[in-house]
Amino acid sequence: MSSKIKIGTRGSKLALWQANFAKQALADIGVECELHIIKTKGDKIQDLSFDKIEGKGFFTKEIESALLKKEVDLAVHSMKDLPTAKVEGLVVAAVSARENPADWLIIKKSSCQINNTLSLPENAKVGTSSARRKAMLLDLCPSASTHDLRGNVPTRLRKLQDGDLDAILLAAAGLIRLELNLSEFEVVKLHPKEFIPAPAQGVVAYQVREDDLDLRRKLKEIHHPEVAECTNVERKVLNLLEGGCHMPLGVFCEKDEMGNFHAIAGYAATWDSPIIRKRLSYSTNFQLADDLFKHLQS
């Protein structure tokens, strides 16, 4: 292993926060790193919603390619963006602690109706390009209409501020990590067991070449196995459904203090179809994803 690890990352503020977080975590165990910004397909195509972009891994594929070519040594991803299919020669060697996994509804104060469902006005215009968020929102608030919204987190907040949308949906993790001032908006913090998040939402994944055993050993020192126990369940359900970021699927798993696993999934055939919700609790995560998948199919 060279003296300085090259971290491959996207260039958005949130991606750079995650990459710098990884850089500091590795510095704390004596591993020096430098960042290399890589533009992905998802960064280049800003005029289409996620479900209209062909293929999977449109926020990760170019970084994985650089990893395989040895242009970088470590890829840092939002785990929810990482496809579940194994890439030959690469492995996820570690995951971060989990930030708040929930979605938050950010509402213009002039649009907020505190006594209405989700504090939204009738016929609210809500911005999101996520098929999952569209499906979850319409399930809870059928009168709302969804409008495609792309761009990084600060850009989306500006579009809410300056445009005719009443609200937007964003991951709590990104808002917390970027320490954004949301005082000019009303914030509805959606419960992850009701408004089910994307598999592995709030978790950062550290991906390396499979044969880079030295770096894999180092990453074990910053790995959070208790998080992996839950994200493995969430991502396996996604894998069994053969879905990607565009699939209207939410899965959330947590482990209680007694060691039991509780998982909930919400799945829709399309973003405007009814959601099927299933919950299971097991004393182990073994077979939990498989059985949850079977229940969603029944």
For the annotated catalytic residues, the residue numbers are 81
Q: What six digits make up the tokens of 128?
A: 């999101």
Q: What six digits make up the tokens of 125?
A: 């215009």
Q: Which of 129, 128, 110 is nearest to 120 (CA)?
A: 110
Provide CB contacts within 8 A for 53, sequence distance 6+: 41, 42, 45, 246
Name the residue type at position 42. Answer: G
Q: What six digits make up the tokens of 88?
A: 């030959």
Question: What is the per-residue burial (b if ≥16 Cβ within 10 Å, else e) of 122-145?
Answer: eebbbbbbbbbbbbbbbbbbeebe
Sign, CA dihedral 153-92-56-75, equals positive
Maximum CA extent, the chain? 59
Provide CB contacts within 8 A for 148, sequence distance 6+: 48, 49, 127, 128, 129
Q: How many residues does the chain have?
A: 298
